[in-house]
Structure 1
């Protein structure tokens, strides 16, 4: 696997013949090939470190059991070395199965004729911490995790941070902080929220909260996981803050909410006539009936069915029929009060939901009058009449379903007795 696009500036070591001088170095020096995930070469100190007989055993060492996390950490080390020229990190190695924590310097290079990605590891100080080097293992974990991790004093000053945190807030380190603003608070888009978060974290011994943070990428939504911890050397109480960038999740949730609202709006509106849908009217009616029950008021339902609309569709076609329905909806809307609600519940059926019902007869008569006005269409003039049935709350029923049924029955009585009129269900 050849890599040239991003790494042309790196030193290219073509063969082992170029490495003779490294044998003169008494400290451990090895070359690691990332693309084959194995050692490329090591000096005698390296061979001794791993308890091997010769360098070929190092090159042939089977690393197939390494986890993907170990591979990812090595790749991160390479990229950091590419970017910074040199990295200095604590690593825990396991020669003969026993843990040894060492400080390593790494440089990035290209190896062999195929220009594999490689790192030169220089061990400049061995640290013997027995078999449980927890503190440095924690430092390693912080360094190579991709989420920002920082420890703060209770005054909000940084004690140590990993590269992810340094990169996320590099812009804040390039200028002095405003007076009275700690490093902890400065990371928040709203400084007052930062002060509140710091106070809560201290009082509650940690917690998890979401805030908008001022990162090098702009304002980002972060989930902050804050825990109480101790300084590994002094024992001082600190706050460990691990930040997870959840901006994309928030954006996805906002998109879902917008889509949900859009679908809700679509469901609330009749697509053709742009008046309310039956679903919308059902939502409004539930609250309206509850309010009317508390206030002792009436609500009325006017069920409107156009007379002879099927013949209009048959004679002029559905496109003309749709235009007629739009005009009918506008005429009914103009006939009712601003406080009333008009919904199309299907085909050529409309319903008026009327609140405060003193003038129901006038509204019904006005609706019939407006609908009776001729409609000019391509190919002629159309006259539309309607039959209207009216049901009242609470006299006739106490729920919308029954009110609609009673108003529908009254409307059919109008149709059977001559049409173009209105009738109360109670009559």
Structure 2
């Protein structure tokens, strides 16, 4: 494999003749050739580690049984080492068929005349994690889980990350980190939030927070579980960050909230006319009556019933009747105050609820005047008027139910006396 431009900075080891000094290192050192997926060379300590007799047996060792996951992880280690200069992370090996988990340091190099991608592995067996099941399970879980896990220094630089984290943020590795930013901060959609999270994690020694992260799949909502831990080699305090993608959960909650808002809108809005429903008026009235009691004000209910609406339905049909109701609702809405509530409470019945009584008579007059204008429809001109009864809280009633009944009674008095007018309950 020919060297790519982004590997030109790597040391090129052309032959085994250049490796004599590595024999003087007492710890395990081996060179691994990624492009042929096999060992390129190892010192005597490496040969002993694998229980072999000579380095050629190491080079000839059959690795055809390795999984694609193992090959992918080796490639990821090379890319990280090529970028960062050195990686340190746990690996599980199987000398003599027995699992042995150790921390390896890796450097990226180019090997042989063909410049194959290679990594040099350095192992200090004094920090070997042993064969305790809990250690093996912990290391293997971090290695193969699809949950991104990364350890950072307090400066926000990566010490170890698992393949899932490498894959999640691979696009960031290929770009220079903005000056003044750490890798930790660069992963956040909002750098300011990243800096705040890092400072908070250090101060509080960990925690769990949700943020939008810049992943290879775009901005995603992640829940970050951050804990204090120690570097297995140096004892340095680190931050272990485990990330859970909760984007679908947030989207589901947003959809649920939207559905709730839609249902609330349906419950609070009259479907035909799009003014308030009776239910909405009943809910709003609680606040109106309470405010009126506190401030010594009145609440007025204007009960409106259309005159001759049945004849419109009978002559033109219910579809035309519905159009008339829509126009009537908008005309009434155009003359009331912004603080007033207009609700449709029956077939052709509406109620205006207003806090304060300064403008009630004027609103009643403007409503009648607005409704008196002929309504132009495809089937011709339609005329509609209204009768309005008005009742006051607390003068006429001390609750909404009685207030509406008294206003309704006042409206029927108008009907009996000639229609197309308004009347107060006490009149």
Provide TM-score, normalisation by structure 2: 0.69
Whole-angstrom distance in 2 between the partners of 1:152 and 1:220: 21
Whole-angstrom distance in 1 between the partners of 2:294 and 2:135: 67
1:259 and 2:248 matched: no
Instruction: Output aligned runs, 1:182-201, within 5 Å.
Output: 182-201=182-201
1:332 and 2:332 matched: yes
Aligned to 1:141: 141
Whole-angstrom distance in 2 between the partners of 1:326 and 1:289: 29
Residues 92 and 391 from structure 1, CA distance in 2 versus in 1: closer, same or farther, beyond 3 angstroms? Answer: farther
Which deviations, in whole Å up to 9, do the C-alpha atoms of 1:125-166 show, x marking residues without a partner?
9x8865415445422211101011011122222110001111
1:397 and 2:373 matched: no
1:174 and 2:187 matched: no
Whole-angstrom distance in 2 between the partners of 1:386 and 1:398: 26
Residues 216 and 380 from structure 1, CA distance in 2 versus in 1: closer, same or farther, beyond 3 angstroms? Answer: closer
Residues 219 and 381 from structure 1, CA distance in 2 versus in 1: closer, same or farther, beyond 3 angstroms? Answer: closer
Q: How many angstroms does 1:300 deviate by?
A: 0.6
Contact conserved, 1:100 with 1:131, CA < 8 A, in 2? yes
Residues 359 and 193 from structure 1, CA distance in 2 versus in 1: closer, same or farther, beyond 3 angstroms? Answer: closer
The runs of 5 or more residues in structure 2 that have no matched partner are 1-34, 37-55, 80-88, 105-122
Contact conserved, 2:90 with 2:101, CA < 8 A, in 1? no
Whole-angstrom distance in 1 between the partners of 2:158 and 2:76: 24
Aligned to 2:91: 90
Aligned to 2:8: none
Counterpart of 1:276 in 2: which secondary structure?
coil
Residues 28 and 397 from structure 1, CA distance in 2 versus in 1: closer, same or farther, beyond 3 angstroms? Answer: farther
Contact conserved, 1:91 with 1:137, CA < 8 A, in 2? no
Whole-angstrom distance in 2 between the partners of 1:378 and 1:172: 63
Residues 331 and 192 from structure 1, CA distance in 2 versus in 1: closer, same or farther, beyond 3 angstroms? Answer: closer
Which deviations, in whole Å up to 9, do the C-alpha atoms of 1:77-110 show, x marking residues without a partner?
4776899999x983488999x8655899xxxxxx
Contact conserved, 2:299 with 2:393, CA < 8 A, in 1? yes
Aligned to 2:355: 355
The runs of 5 or more residues in structure 1 that have no matched partner are 1-9, 12-23, 34-73, 105-124
Counterpart of 1:346 in 2: which secondary structure?
coil
Moved more, 221-230 or 211-220: 211-220
Whole-angstrom distance in 1 between the partners of 2:75 and 2:175: 26
Whole-angstrom distance in 2 between the partners of 1:85 and 1:195: 29
Q: How many angstroms does 1:418 deviate by?
A: 4.0
Aligned to 1:285: 285
Moved more, 163-172 or 327-336: 327-336
Residues 174 and 369 from structure 1, CA distance in 2 versus in 1: closer, same or farther, beyond 3 angstroms? Answer: closer
Instruction: Output aligned runs, 1:273-312, within 5 Å.
Output: 273-312=273-312
Whole-angstrom distance in 1 between the partners of 2:77 and 2:135: 25
Residues 395 and 102 from structure 1, CA distance in 2 versus in 1: closer, same or farther, beyond 3 angstroms? Answer: same
Contact conserved, 2:76 with 2:163, CA < 8 A, in 1? no
Q: How many angstroms does 1:209 deviate by?
A: 0.2
Whole-angstrom distance in 1 between the partners of 2:76 and 2:243: 23
Residues 275 and 94 from structure 1, CA distance in 2 versus in 1: closer, same or farther, beyond 3 angstroms? Answer: farther
Whole-angstrom distance in 1 between the partners of 2:300 and 2:57: 97
Whole-angstrom distance in 1 between the partners of 2:94 and 2:426: 90
Whole-angstrom distance in 1 between the partners of 2:65 and 2:400: 76
Whole-angstrom distance in 2 between the partners of 1:365 and 1:418: 16
Q: How many angstroms does 1:301 deviate by?
A: 0.9
Instruction: Output aligned runs, 1:18-97, within 5 Å.
Output: 29=62, 76-77=69-70, 90-91=91-92
Q: How many angstroms does 1:29 deviate by?
A: 4.7
Instruction: Output aligned runs, 1:202-221, within 5 Å.
Output: 202-221=202-221
Contact conserved, 2:302 with 2:391, CA < 8 A, in 1? yes
Contact conserved, 2:92 with 2:99, CA < 8 A, in 1? no
Counterpart of 2:184 in 1: which secondary structure?
helix
Contact conserved, 1:269 with 1:276, CA < 8 A, in 2? yes
Whole-angstrom distance in 2 between the partners of 1:94 and 1:287: 77
Whole-angstrom distance in 1 between the partners of 2:298 and 2:202: 58
1:249 and 2:240 matched: no
Counterpart of 2:285 in 1: which secondary structure?
helix
Counterpart of 1:207 in 2: which secondary structure?
strand
Whole-angstrom distance in 2 between the partners of 1:380 and 1:169: 67
Give the CA RMSD over aligned residues: 3.8
Whole-angstrom distance in 2 between the partners of 1:375 and 1:284: 31
Provide TM-score, normalisation by structure 1: 0.69
Counterpart of 1:156 in 2: which secondary structure?
coil
Q: How many angstroms does 1:230 deviate by?
A: 1.9
